[in-house]
Structures are given as C-alpha cells and as structure tokens.
C-alpha cells in the first residue's frame, strides 16, 4: 500500500505525517517513509537547490522535482512495494500538478503526462489532503523558503488545484479538515487508514 500526504505549505501536513509514522512504528507495521523533493542522496541535493535558488525558472523547477521523483520511485518506492512494505510519502506527484502545473501556469495536463512518465504510472492508493484556508496556513509560517515566499494568490491557486484533483479522483483522495486540533486530525487519518487496509485485504 502506498500512502501520500498533501497540502499547501503551513497546512500541518508535516506534523500529521510524523504522528502517522509514529503510530505505524508502535503498531509494528513494516513501512518506509519518503519525502519530496528528496528521499534519496540525489534527491536531497535537488531539495537543497529547490528551497534556496531564487534564479530557477518555472520549467527548471518542475524538471528538478521530476528528476528527484524519478530516482525516488525507481530506487526506493518500487522496491519497497515489491517487498510488501507500506510506503508513506510526504508529498508526491500531485504536488507538481498543483504547484507547477496550475499555480505556476505550466499546464496541468502536461505535468500529469510527465509525472506518468517518471513514475511509470505509479500512484498512491490513498492520499490525505489536509485542507486549510491560505491565510491560516501562511500565518503559521515563521520562516519562509523560496516557494513559500510566493504569497497568498499563489497558494490560493495551489489549493484550488488540489480541490480539483479531489473531484477528479474521489476514491483516492481523502479531504481532511486542517483546522481541527492535531489529535482529532490524527485519529481521523488512522481510522481511515485502518478501514482502507481492511478493504484492500478482502
């Protein structure tokens, strides 16, 4: 099973990924955790560039994300799934559709095609999208990286893109209220995961 977590910056996604992986460890689940961009030595080098290099063009940004993703899928995610492990990803291909495809204006369809190419069509079985108003999300951020500096209008576009994706794939996406308290969100995620896991086993 392959699970991803998505959300605009400041949504609380990182906290929920941490709580969920802590839960899996306590339950003795055989899993691996990956993050995007990153997750491999090559990907982590790309991550460092993406977070700080303010000279990057939109197309260069997208291609760096895709290169990192291609390496991650081929060397980490596919082998783990083949061994029957659960994979938990802090962001995956949907992020590129929302951020670069829609918010950067590069085109949703072309980004979907490129994602399909670099992942060999691999998609998560379950994607938790943690939804929160843009103003609330940005108010939580004390230090901003290069992408987080884009401002409210940019992140409104990102949020809209995610909500459009949920409408397209309601069976894969689970909409999570990011304004609820941390424990309530965590419990909802765990309950959803356990229910889906049973459904997959049948």
pLDDT tens by residue, 78-135: 999 999 999 999 999 999 999 999 999 999 999 999 999 999 999 999 999 999 998 8
Strand order of the β-sheet with 31-35 is 31-35, 86-90, 2-6, 126-131, 173-177
Q: How confident is the model at residue 21 (pLDDT cuts 50, 70, 90)?
A: very high
Quickly count: other Cβ atoms within 10 Å of residue 64's Cβ: 19
Which helix (H) or strand (E) segment holds residue 129: the answer is strand 126-131
- Write down the pTM of the prediction: 0.93
Q: How many domains does the chain have?
A: 1
Which pLDDT belongs to residue 144? 55
Whether cis (ω within 30° of 0) applies to the bond prior to 37 is: yes
Write the CATH number for 30: 3.40.50.300
Residues 6+ apart with CB under 8 A from 41: none
Q: In the structure, what pLDDT confidence band is assigned to residue 148 with cuts at 50, 70 and 90? A: low
- Which residue in 111, 113, 115 sits closest to 99, CA to CA? 111
Of the pLDDT bands very low, low, confident and very high (cuts 50, 70, 90), residue 143 is low
How, if at all, do strands 126-131 and 2-6 pair?
A: parallel
Question: Could you tell me the residue range of the domain that residue 151 belongs to?
Answer: 2-201
User: What CA–CA distance (Å, rounded) separates 119 from 117?
Assistant: 6
The model's pLDDT over 155-170, given as tens digits with 9 standing for 90+, comes to: 899 999 999 999 999 9
For 48-62, what is the mean pLDDT? 93
Residue 85: what pLDDT?
Answer: 97
Which of residues 199 and 4 earns the better pLDDT score?
4
The H or E element containing residue 175 is: strand 173-177
Q: What is the pLDDT of residues 41-53, one digit of tens each?
A: 999 999 999 988 8
- For 107, the 3-state DSSP assignment is coil
């Amino acid at each position: 099973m392959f699970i991803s977590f998505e959300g605009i910056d400041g949504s609380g996604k990182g906290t929920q990924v941490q709580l969920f992986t802590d839960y899996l460890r306590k339950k003795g689940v055989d899993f691996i955790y990956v993050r995007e961009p990153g997750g491999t030595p090559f990907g982590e080098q790309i991550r460092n560039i993406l977070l700080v290099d303010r000279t990057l063009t939109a197309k260069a940004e997208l291609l760096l994300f895709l290169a990192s993703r291609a390496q991650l899928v081929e060397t980490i995610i596919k082998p783990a799934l083949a061994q029957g492990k659960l994979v938990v990803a802090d962001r995956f291909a949907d992020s590129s559709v929302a951020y670069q495809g829609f918010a950067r204006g590069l085109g949703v369809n072309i980004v979907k095609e490129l994602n399909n190419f670099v992942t060999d069509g691999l998609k998560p079985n379950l994607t938790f999208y943690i939804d929160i108003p843009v103003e609330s999300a940005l108010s939580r951020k004390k230090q901003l990286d290069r992408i987080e500096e884009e401002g409210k209008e940019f992140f409104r576009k990102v949020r809209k893109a995610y909500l459009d994706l949920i409408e397209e794939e309601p069976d894969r996406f689970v909409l999570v209220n990011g304004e609820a308290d941390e424990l309530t969100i965590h419990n909802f995620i765990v309950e959803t995961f356990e229910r889906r896991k049973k459904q997959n086993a049948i």
